[in-house]
Structure 1
Amino acid sequence: MWLQKQINLSPKPRGFHLIDDEIISSIPEIADIKVGLLHILIKHTSASLTLNENADPTVRNDFESHFDHFVPEGAPYYQHTYEGSDDMPAHIKSTIIGSNHTLPITHGQLNLGTWQGIYLCEHRNNGGSRQLVLTIQGE
């Protein structure tokens, strides 16, 4: 079985946001998959996806603080600044973190670790709604 859907995430402020529930609620068909894969692609170059700690919210704050320090706004060597001071840093962060993940499905559920969650990493101050392509392959 193959299934593909495009979904729109609600706009989120800059930061790291758990989106497991938004993804799972948009693909109720996952319940029928005994074994398979879910591939998730974000269709943007200024936001990214990661899989990480889902229990302690301070992890999300630490991610944001680290990446803001690691890839600062306003660096004098940035040339691509047409959309504001957060524009080029957002593209760099997106490249470092990545735009897609493939996750196992087992007995109708994502087969993630106990403390793992899927994050939307919003790198823009006003990124707006973000689009994901969800592709399921399984039986």
Structure 2
Amino acid sequence: MSVAQGLLRFETGGQGLTDITGEVAGWLTQSGMRTGVLTVFCRHTSAGLLITENASVAVQRDLLRWLDRLAPESTGYEHDDEGPDDMPAYIKTLLTGSALTIPFSSNRLLLGTWQGVLLAEHRARGHSREVVLTAIGE
């Protein structure tokens, strides 16, 4: 059993979803690991990770609208230290999650045909985001 760990950085352009599947798969290839489990962890409280359909941009737009309905920007939150998108971003991160577990085999992510790994930026302005990758296997 071996462990490989790495860090990927992404610059976001503000609220939206960024497909990071290629970068995650590239890191796995470079790690030399063949079979095991990969954990993908976002180091931020206002950005999250999700696995979803990555072929249709309409799916991403629908997900963002759904999240905005569940946690709208408003002045109704007690916590607004960094503006009206601050607390809604935390709520959206709770909904999207901070970590994913993905099995891999033959040095490939075992995602479904239409699945992709997406970084969800929940803040209105862009940020530099870090994603930690930990592969356990052989």
The interval holding the TM-score normalised by the smaller chain is over 0.9
1:129 & 1:33 partners in 2: Cα distance? 27
Give the letter aligned to residue 53 of structure 2: E
Question: What percent of counterpart residues are identical?
Answer: 39
**1:72-128 C-alpha deviation (Å, 9 max, x unpaired):** 11052x111010110000000101211000100111100010010001111001141
Secondary structure of 2:67's counterpart equals helix
TM-score by length of 1: 0.92
User: Residue 60 of structure 2 aligns with which residue?
Assistant: 60
1:86 & 1:10 partners in 2: Cα distance? 18
User: Residue 119 of structure 2 aligns with which residue?
Assistant: 120
User: Residue 16 of structure 1 aligns with which residue?
Assistant: 17
1:75 & 1:37 partners in 2: Cα distance? 42
**Contact 1:8–1:132 under 8 Å retained in 2:** yes
User: Residue 71 of structure 2 aligns with which residue?
Assistant: 71
Give the letter aligned to residue 11 of structure 1: T
User: Residue 134 of structure 1 aligns with which residue?
Assistant: 133
Give the letter aligned to residue 51 of structure 1: I
Secondary structure of 1:83's counterpart equals coil
**Contact 1:18–1:54 under 8 Å retained in 2:** yes
2:42 & 2:107 partners in 1: Cα distance? 23
User: Residue 104 of structure 2 aligns with which residue?
Assistant: 105
1:44 & 1:38 partners in 2: Cα distance? 19
Secondary structure of 2:119's counterpart equals strand
**Contact 2:28–2:108 under 8 Å retained in 1:** no
User: Residue 26 of structure 1 aligns with which residue?
Assistant: 27
Secondary structure of 2:73's counterpart equals coil
2:121 & 2:44 partners in 1: Cα distance? 10
**Contact 2:19–2:54 under 8 Å retained in 1:** yes
1:109 & 1:52 partners in 2: Cα distance? 18
Moved more, 36-45 or 3-12: 3-12
